[in-house]
Structures are given as structure tokens and as C-alpha cells.
Amino acid sequence: MGLSPNHTLKESAARRTRSSPSKSAFEATAGSGRAPSRKNLRIFIAGNNEMVRRGIRACLEERPEWRIVGESGTRGETITQTAALQPDLLLLDVTGPSFEAAKVIGQVLRASPAIKIIALGRDDEAESAVSALVGGAIGLVLESDAASEFVRTIQQVSEDHPFLSPAAVGLIGNQLARHQTVKFTPADLTPRETEILAALARGSSNKEVANELGISVKTVNVHRSNMMDKLSLCNSRRLIHFAIRQGIAACSRQ
């Protein structure tokens, strides 16, 4: 029986333990040598909590086009194995104190700049989640999120769209502002630009933003271009990542 999209990662892990599958996704796909594609993601799982990793595996096994190419329970292994395996995506549990999320992410990205990183946080640990985003993760999902939200985050990030689950946005609030690495004040952007950028950073598409605000998609694109010029950012991914790191993603709708 498949997992319900409403199950959390913890619930998925418990169900996976009871069902005791004969072969894990990692065992079934390791060494297949297939070239990566948009649908055939090569994913590496890291974190020192075996139960969390088990929950992640259970969710991923529902998507046969996503291949688990490796798994690690320590910081050192994560750095060396991702460098060797070059996965498309790293799912990193940042709740363990020994992992030091920002340091791990920085080292992984120095060795493998193309890897996209999704941080898995906990509802009562905003600081580790913020640290992961500041370090370079472009996605954030929480252990309490439903499996469907976890899948959605992977889909968005795999298509190069930085994304935070709604619960993650609520958790971090405006704490990211304390970690600003680029000088920025609200006056740098107009209220409309801030509103659009916040919606984009929460994962809305250009069309969804246009519909929500009652403007055209062309107008959304013009605002996006203007913001990139103002902030000296070279592409949309950097703009959205900037919004996440600056806490703009958590701004309330006007």
C-alpha cells in the first residue's frame, strides 16, 4: 500500500519500518549508470537521524523516477560522497547538532557547485533552518510537513526554483534579516515589488502572482527585471534566493 500524501516524514518512516520492504530504493538503483534528467533525479540523503532518513526514503520510493544514489549519517561522509557521486539534489537533515548545516553546505557547494540543496528542519529549530538557507540551501521543508509538501519542494527546487514550504516560511519569520549578507533596506524596493517578490519566494509562479494581484504576467516580469537591476542580481534564481535569505519570503501580504 502506498503512502498517503498527508503523512509526515515521521509517519512515513514508521510505516516503512512496519512494511519492511525487501529492497530499498538505494539498493535497487545504485550503480545503474543512467544519465540524469529532469524526471530522473539523482538524490543523496544526509543526516544523523536514521528515522528521518528512513522517512525520506519512504517518500522517495513512491516516485520511481527519483533515484537515491547515496546516503550518509555523518558530516564527513556527506562532503566526500557528494563530491564523488555528484548527485543532482542533496536532501540534508539540518536538525542534528553535529552537522553544522552552514559549514556542510558551504563545503558541498565548493566541491560541487551544481548540486541543489534542500534542508530538512524541525518546527522548534528556526536557527538551524536559517543557517542552512544562509549557507546556500535553496529549499526548506519541515519534518512535520505532509509528504505531498515534501514532494512539491523537491519538484520546485529540481527545476531551479528556490522554495520554502508554507510551514517553513512561518517558522523562520523575519529571522533571516539578522543574517543579511547584502546591504538591503525595504526602501530599495517599492511596496508592489516587495509584494511580488515575497509571493515568488513562497513558490508562486508568475501567472499565480499575476492572478493574485490582479495584474498581467507581463507586469510581473517587468517588476522582476526591475528588481534584478536594482539589486544587481544577474538572474531570477539569485533574486528568489536573495528574497529567502533576506526574510522577504515571510512578509505578510499587503
Determine the Cα–Cα distance for residues 4 and 76; give it in Å rounded to an integer.
Answer: 34
Is residue 3 included in any domain, yes or no? Answer: no
| Reported pTM | 0.72
Determine the Cα–Cα distance for residues 17 and 90; give it in Å rounded to an integer.
Answer: 23
Dihedrals phi, psi of 160, to nearest 5 degrees = 75, 30
- C-alpha grid cell for residue 62? 513512491
User: How many structural domains compose the chain?
Assistant: 2
132/202 same-domain check: no
CATH of the domain at 158: 3.40.50.2300
CATH of the domain at 204: 1.10.10.10
Is residue 211 included in any domain, yes or no? Answer: yes
pLDDT digits (tens, 9 = 90+) for 195-248: 999 888 877 888 989 999 999 999 999 999 999 999 888 877 778 778 877 777
Q: Do residues 55 and 12 lie in contact, with contact meaning Cβ atoms separated by under 8 Å?
A: yes
Is residue 1 included in any domain, yes or no? Answer: no
- C-alpha grid cell for residue 125? 529549530
- C-alpha grid cell for residue 240? 528568489
pLDDT digits (tens, 9 = 90+) for 94-114: 987 667 888 899 999 999 999
pLDDT at 252 over 80: no
Supply the range of the domain harboring residue 45.
Answer: 9-172
